[in-house]
A and B are shown apart, each in its own frame.
Chain A
Amino acid sequence: MSAESVSADRDERLAPGGGSQWLRAAGKRLLMTVGPVVVALAIAGLLLLALGVDPLRYYSYVVQRGLLSPSGVQQTLTRMAPLLFLAAGLIVAFRAGIWNLGGDGQFLLGAVAAAASAPFLADHVPAWAALLVAFVIATAVAVVWSLVPALLKAYQGVNEIITTLMMTFLGASLANVLVKLVFLDPATTVPQTRTLAVADRLPRLFDTTISSGLVFGLIAIVAVHLMMTRTSFGLRLRIVGANPRAAIHAGLDVPILTVAVFALSAGLCGMAGALDVLGVQGNVRADWNPGYALTVIPMVFLARFNGFAAIAFVGLLSVLSIGGESAARRMGVPNDFTLVLVAIVLIVLAIAEYIDHRHKKAAGR
């Protein structure tokens, strides 16, 4: 019976009618995603207009600087690398129904661990080995950091939104303490860690300034997407996310899976920090906190936890932030406008999804 239904399914998809239906669904999906973004750009444009800035000039400048100029594109693609790792980490957690809001703490501790170990290791072993070991250390530090909320959630049922928020405040302070007291570079007057020599950093792609971290980031997010959608482990995590009680009835070891999700999620966030240090920054300065994770959370929601869609949204965020930084210098619009834009996109998209949901319901199940 099941074989029959599967083949019937396949036939339907192969049949011309089914194909066009699939195409129409995909087209609708695209429209549902692009449409709200356009609407949001229009609303944000009106805001710019109200502030006396020509929105068309602003947008064209952002696109040109973030997307079309050679140096801009390279910066945009480099910026994407840590954001992709963060998105991958958040997708794992959110799909499993665990609200890891501590990404920024995990990111910063990973970054500090990498910044502390890489220059030291580079003195003793070949650069590639130093990078690899630093990367592993950073990941391990982030995973260990997530054990506290993970164990509390898994075995005591303590709400992870509180614990991860607390741990992210703690992590940001701890990262600062480590930079200022333990890993301080005595050779400079500014409080920062030792700087990894440019020659020892992650290689750049071909003849560009794009960090090869981009490739790792893409691999990470695709791997996470496939893991969540194609493997039995991913299925188990999604069951836990959809209904923990049902998961227990299905015989799943929910506590162990919860700890695993935390470890994966935090590990990926730690990798993001390591990548940003090993590929781009070279060191960690005191009080450095780009707050990437908090801005990536909306992107992951916009992508509806889909890895491929997340790549597109992370790309959009990179273009907006790199282009926005240039536009801010050039046109006197503060960089913070990017935040407003992201927020408007997020809210409009949530509304669009709601309307779509209503339509489907009205059309009869």
Chain B
Amino acid sequence: MADLFSVVFLGALLFGAVTAAVPLLLAGLGEQMSEKAGVLNIGIEGMMIFGAYTGFLGAYLSNSMWLGFLAGMAGGMAVSLIMVILCVRYGLNQIVIGIGLTLGFEGLTALLHHFQFSRTYPRLPAAEPVSIPVLSDLPVVGAAFFNHHLIVYLAVALVAVMAFVYRRTQLGLNLQAAGDKPAALDVTGVNVVATRAFAVMVTGALAGLGGAYLANVGAGLFVPFITNGSGFLGIVLAMLSRGRPLWVLIGAFVFGLCLALTTALQVAGVNIPTDVIQMIPFLAVMVMLVAFGRRSSLPAALGLPYERGAR
């Protein structure tokens, strides 16, 4: 038991938690933006898996982690473009198209991987971490929090950027209005469809980046179905966070910690099925919902297409 709480173990656990949390954070922040603007983005898992695939391919072909991340963002945005055209512009059912995109791109990436690499899974070189001076020398937390790839710090900084945009900018107000009272936004002369399209494209970019991180940094390779429900966790995070980016960060870290705990306990030789630990975050959320049971504060027009003049 002493082993369990050793400094090394704790450090590794927290490091793993951050690594596992980053894709969830990016997906959650992305989904949050869509939902704010009134689009329930069930297709986020599809955006993540395609981002993971294009991101891996980009990094593999170009030997550059950053080009890989860009390719991942582009992949995610390609999927969200379909969502924009079908759901935002033409108002098709968001749940139908979302599930369609998720299934389709899970299958497509598995298919493309098969035809390209057959049964081999080429690895990428390990991602170069950036140590933050002074802070990274702190015991336990230093190595765990301040010795990651640059993209991790950017992802965390994005939380502050998002919070600023939502609270202090016109764009933030527009996004909020597009989700709560699209007709009112329209009256003020702002294009509702364009606002929502912007939100969904950002979602695609973030989800794609999250997928690329998962493949390139988290795993170092691409396997079919690698996202394994991360996108759905992103939806859960977005819905629980009530529009606050900071809550997405906290939630993503808690989920990440549980995921890291699963691996860490296995390494430490503790004999509990991983499934028990995997249940912890979901159980925690359900307990919270039962205990507080507050009405969820989702945007009024969430999931409803906007058509000018329609009532």
Contacts and interface: CB of A to CB of B under 8 A. Distances in A.
A5 B310 CA distance: 31
Contacts of A346: 96-97, 99-100, 103-104
Interface residues of A, number: 45
B290 A152 contact: yes
Contacts of B86: 347, 350-351
A349 to B, nearest CB: 9
> Which of A52, A166, A174, A177 has the most chain B CB atoms inside 10 A of its CB?
A166
B2 interface: no
B108 interface: yes
Nearest to B93: A350
Interface string A155-193: 111110111011101100110110011000000000000
B100 A298 contact: yes
A53 B50 CA distance: 22
Interface in A248-301: 294-295, 297-298, 301
A358 B117 CA distance: 44
Nearest to B108: A340
A189 to B, nearest CB: 16
Nearest to A168: B232
Contacts of B294: 156
B24 interface: no
B309 to A, nearest CB: 12
Contacts of A68: none
Contacts of B105: 343
B293 interface: yes
B286 A163 contact: yes
A301 B96 contact: yes
A301 B96 CA distance: 7
B289 A163 contact: yes
A298 B100 CA distance: 7
A173 B276 contact: yes
A46 B176 CA distance: 41
B273 A176 contact: yes
Contacts of A155: 293
A157 B295 contact: yes
A128 interface: no
A331 to B, nearest CB: 12
A298 B289 contact: no
A161 B273 CA distance: 28
A177 B91 CA distance: 42
A152 B104 contact: no
A337 B107 contact: yes
Interface majority SS on A: helix, strand, loop or mixed? helix
A256 B239 CA distance: 25
B286 A336 contact: no
A148 B104 contact: no
Contacts of B293: 152, 155-156, 158
Contacts of A143: none
Contacts of B169: none
A78 interface: no
A342 interface: yes
Given A343-B101, A343-B104, A350-B100, A334 B110 contact: yes
B140 interface: no
A334 B114 contact: yes
Contact of A158 (B103, B115, B296): B296
B240 interface: yes
Given A165-B236, A297-B99, A343-B101, A148 B286 contact: yes
Contacts of B40: 161
B8 interface: no
Contacts of A337: 107, 111
Contacts of B3: none
Interface in A127-173: 148, 152, 155-159, 161-163, 165-167, 169-170, 173
Contacts of A156: 289, 293-295
A99 B273 contact: no
Contacts of B114: 334, 336
B251 to A, nearest CB: 12
B226 to A, nearest CB: 13
Contacts of A157: 295-296
A75 interface: no
B286 A170 contact: yes
> Which of A52, A99, A298, A343 has the most chain B CB atoms inside 10 A of its CB?
A343
A155 B106 CA distance: 36
B150 interface: no
Interface in A314-365: 333-334, 336-344, 346-347, 350-351, 354
B115 A51 contact: yes
Contacts of A51: 111, 115
B103 A169 contact: no
B273 A166 contact: no
Given A176-B273, A336-B111, A347 B286 contact: no
Contacts of A52: 115
Contact of B104 (A162, A167, A170, A339): A339
B164 interface: no
Contacts of A162: 235-236, 239-240, 289, 296
A344 B86 CA distance: 13
B111 A350 contact: no
B92 A354 contact: yes
B115 A166 contact: no
7 smallest CB-CB distances across A and B, nearest first, come from A343-B104, A339-B107, A336-B110, A156-B293, A340-B107, A346-B100, A176-B275
6 contacts: A161-B235, A170-B286, A174-B275, A336-B110, A343-B105, A346-B100
Interface of A: 51-52, 99, 148, 152, 155-159, 161-163, 165-167, 169-170, 173-174, 176-177, 180-181, 294-295, 297-298, 301, 333-334, 336-344, 346-347, 350-351, 354
Given A334-B114, A350-B86, A350-B93, 4 more contacts: A165-B236, A294-B99, A298-B100, A346-B96
